[in-house]
Amino acid sequence: MVENNHSTDSTGEFKRSRSRFDDRILDDPGARWPVEPGRYRLVVSLACPWASRMLVVRRLLGLEEAISLGVADPIQDEKSWRFTLDPGDVDPVLGIRYLAEAYQLAEPGYEGGVSVPAIVDVPSGRLVTNDYLQMTLDLSTEWTAHHRPGAPDLYPEPLRDEIDEVVEAVFRDVNNGVYRAGFATTQERYDAAYRDVFSRLDWLEERLTGSRYLVGDTITEADIRLFTTLVRFDAVYHGHFKCNRNKLTEMPALWAYARDLYQTPGFTDTVDFDHIKRHYYQVHTDINPTRIVPCGPDLSGWTTPHGREALGGRPFGDGTPPGPDPTAASR
């Protein structure tokens, strides 16, 4: 996650840092980092909403075998993301104990934050990029030769301007807005962030009341970016980040929309509520010094009928749903 790449200014406002490592993997044999199946490893935390975007896009596009996956422990230590979920506490492909080791190979002496998602070059072991704003778009546009048959177009050219506009608003007020509320250190900054979050959620509630998806009639990048915040909202943001005007379950259109996506193939198996709750409540000791993880909320509602089919829309457009993850058994 990227909250260890942030600061709070003198007014108490949360400031998210830009990605330090923003190289791109391009569909160009002459590029510094060319598209090459099997060469790169995606490192994520299942707790992290920014990493979860990559997981959903990778699944929907069928890139599991082209880009391998490393999953970090949801609980960080002083060296940040660690591979304690793997035998011997070592990533089996990269051969490292901490993601920070890949950062050091990219920039010896680096002392900044270590964030996920991160893509690492397997042959050299060095970090390629942690640019979470660009990475999903590149999976959609640069890796097309390796998409599965029937992969959806998550960033269709005719809709890109509208997608970009919606994504920017959602990032500012919702994706990052909950962090601005949660990490604010003055009442004034918290109040402002709180207003932004719920003003935007009200806007989204109205937009989604008559439309199954955010832009067009299929799932796009915009839906994926909103979903990864919504799926964490009641579990952590409502209480832990004090975004508590109401729960997601109390906003009819947004709640049905979130369930619709959750139940769509390619989304469900990227969500791990245990990792999500343990990370937020046990790592953010400045917010939750007792490190107690709450038992609630009841999460069984995520699998209940949502009724959004009545709005029409085609989740995958002219494509097809993804099948089971072909690499799941090997992880």
Residue range 19-34: average pLDDT?
Answer: 95
Mean pLDDT of 215-220: 98
Over residues 234-255, the pLDDT tens digits come to 999 999 999 999 999 999 999 9
Q: What is the DSSP string of 6-56?
A: EEE-TTS-EEEPPPS-B---BS-TTSSSB--TTSEEEEE-TT-HHHHHHHH
pLDDT at residue 1 in the model = 37
Pinpoint the alpha helices (H) of 25-141. 49-61, 100-106, 132-141
Report CA-CA distances (Å) from 61 to 140, 264, 268.
Answer: 8, 14, 15
Q: Which of 219, 218, 4, 224 is nearest to 100 (CA)?
A: 4
103 is an active site residue: no
In DSSP terms, 127 is beta-bridged to 120
Judged against a pLDDT cut of 90, whether residue 48 lies above it is answered with yes
**Does residue 324 surpass a pLDDT of 50?**
yes
pTM: 0.95
Rounded to whole angstroms, what are the CA distances from 312 to 16, 211, 213, 295? 37, 8, 10, 37
Per-residue pLDDT at 2 exceeds 50: no
Known binding residue 81? Answer is: yes
Contacts of 146 (CB under 8 A, 6+ apart): 35, 37, 63, 66
pLDDT value at position 6? 57
288-320 residue pLDDT tens: 999 999 999 999 999 999 999 999 999 999 999
Q: How confident is the model at residue 146 (pLDDT cuts 50, 70, 90)?
A: very high
Asked if the model's pLDDT at residue 150 lies above 80, the reply is yes
Q: What is the DSSP string of 284-316?
A: -TTT-TT-PPP-----GGGGS---GGGG---TT
Whether the pLDDT of residue 223 is over 90: the answer is yes
Q: What percent of the chain has pLDDT over 70?
A: 95
* Candidates 48, 132, 190, 257; catalytic one: 48
Strand partners, 68: 41
Helix, strand or coil for residue 231? Answer: helix
Average pLDDT of the segment spanning 174-189: 97
- Give the chain's mean pLDDT: 95
What percent of the chain has a predicted confidence (pLDDT) above 90?
A: 92
How does residue 110 score in pLDDT terms, banded at 50, 70 and 90?
A: very high
242: left (phi over 0), alpha (psi -120 to 50) or beta: left
pLDDT at 274 over 80: yes
Q: Which domains does the chain have, with CATH numbers?
A: 6-146 (3.40.30.10), 157-305 (1.20.1050.10)
Please provide the DSSP assignment of 248-295 as one string. GGGSHHHHHHHHHHHTSTTTGGG--HHHHHHHHHHH-TTT-TT-PPP-
Is residue 3 pLDDT above 50, yes or no? Answer: no
The pLDDT assigned to 5 comes to 53
Spatial contact of 13 and 123, defined as CB atoms under 8 Å apart:
no
Q: Is the pLDDT of residue 160 over 70?
A: yes
- Residue 128's SS3 state is strand
Torsion, Cα 166 220 99 127, to 10 degrees, reads -90
Kindly compute the dihedral angle of the four CA atoms of residues 102, 105, 107, 109, in this order, to the nearest 10 degrees. 100
CA distances from 126 to 21, 47, 123, 220 (A): 11, 23, 8, 31
CA distance 212 to 222: 12
Cα distance between residue 272 and residue 267, in whole Å: 11
What is the maximal distance between C-alpha atoms in the chain?
Answer: 56
Considering the candidates 40, 103, 179, 213, report the single residue annotated as catalytic: 179
Give catalytic status of residue 243 as yes or no: no
